[in-house]
Structure 1
C-alpha cells in the first residue's frame, strides 16, 4: 500500500481515510438465494432490478463482484447494512 492508502489517526482517535473511491465487494456464499441477494442489493445499494441480477450472477459465477463505488463513509454504511443481512462483503480501495 502506498502512503496515500494508509490509514492515519487524527487527534481524538478518529481514523482518517485517504480521499478517493472505494469498492464494496460482495462475496459468494452457498446460503442465500438469488432472490434474497437481489433484494438486498436493491434495498441497500439502490440497484435497479437488472443491475442487482447482474451483480448476483457475477458473484455466483466468479466468486465476487464489486457492487458499489463511493467514498469510504458511504461504502462503510452499505457494508454494515449488508452484514446485518448476513451477506459477506468487504471494502477495497480502488487503484
Structure 2
C-alpha cells in the first residue's frame, strides 16, 4: 500500500481522467477531405497537418479522436462538426 501522498495523487489523477472526454469523428461517404480538413481547423483549432492526419485516419480506420477536453469545452466544438454535416460524438 502506498503513502498517503501517493494515494492522494492517484485519486487526483483518476478524477482528472474522469473529467476528460474526447470527440470522435466517424467516416462517411459524403464529405470531401477538404471539407473535413477545413472543418477540423475551424472547429477544433487543428493545424493543417493535424487536420489532414485525422482525416486520413478517419478514412482508413473509420473513426478518430480529434479533440480531448472537458465535456463543456467539447460540446460547442462537436456541435460545429455536426452542423457541418460531419458524424461526431463526445465520449
Which bin holds the TM-score, normalised by the shorter protein? Answer: 0.7 to 0.9
Structure of greater Rg: 2
Secondary structure of 1:89 counterpart: strand
SS of residue in 1 equivalent to 2:19: coil
Q: Which residue of 2 aligns with 1:29?
A: 28
The alignment of Structure 1 onto Structure 2 pairs a total of residues equal to: 74
TM-score of the pair, normalised by structure 1: 0.76
Query: Which of structure 1's runs of 4+ aligned residues deviate more than 2 A?
Result: none
Structure ranking higher in strand proportion: 1
Q: Deviations over 1:16-63 (max 9, x none)?
A: xxx510000000000000000000000000000000000000000000
Alpha-carbon distance between aligned partners in 2 of 1:53 and 1:35, rounded to the nearest angstrom: 9
Unpaired runs of 5+ residues, structure 2, are: 1-17
Matched residue of 2:41: which SS?
Answer: helix
Q: Could you tell me how far apart the structure 2 residues matched to 1:45 and 1:91 are?
A: 13
Normalized per residue, which structure has more helix?
Answer: 2
Q: RMSD of the alignment, in Å?
A: 0.7
Cα distance in 1 for partners of 2:52, 2:85 equals 18
Using the size of structure 2 for normalisation, the TM-score is: 0.79
